[in-house]
Structure 1
């Protein structure tokens, strides 16, 4: 039971962060607009990215679709790694941050979803 609670706590933090990030992509405050300029992404894609992140996060939050959500979030985070790498951002602080985040997404899911133990038996 303790693993499941820990999994929901980790997942809850990931969900909260993603919901906040998606909301900022809809609202587009100055720091978000500045980040889009810095990364070379057109600001008109902000809402599209927000919708993708929101949909993936909601799928992750629902137990029956959580694995699909984790897979979609992994793809989304891979795009963030590619963007940071292309910009020659610092490796361990910026470029790999989405990887750390993705690991937490999967750890949270692994702890709360017993079916994943058969997919990742080496973690048991």
Structure 2
């Protein structure tokens, strides 16, 4: 997997990493802050963060003694463009299907109409 989009989706395939990303939408946090709700070691959370970092989803900086983790929101633009392209294609297919079903419904409705006796046309 050498393209960024594949790395991003692979990184987000893990529920813990998705949760870390969701929590980082509230703002930067340290590894300790991010690890707090989990029953795992700091090292385990650091490994998850490394995968997210390699995918370009997060960066780590140095702020005195702290090493805050920062969410790189621009990467989501790449994902959004990819998803949107396929969403549009799916929407077009659904619109064509709706048109076919509407035509079939009209044909069925027309075929079942019985002219009533005594009415002038």
Query: With structure 1 as the length reference, what TM-score do the two structures score?
Result: 0.21
Q: Answer 1 or 2: which has greater helix percent.
A: 1
Larger proportion of strand:
2
Q: Larger Rg: 1 or 2?
A: 2
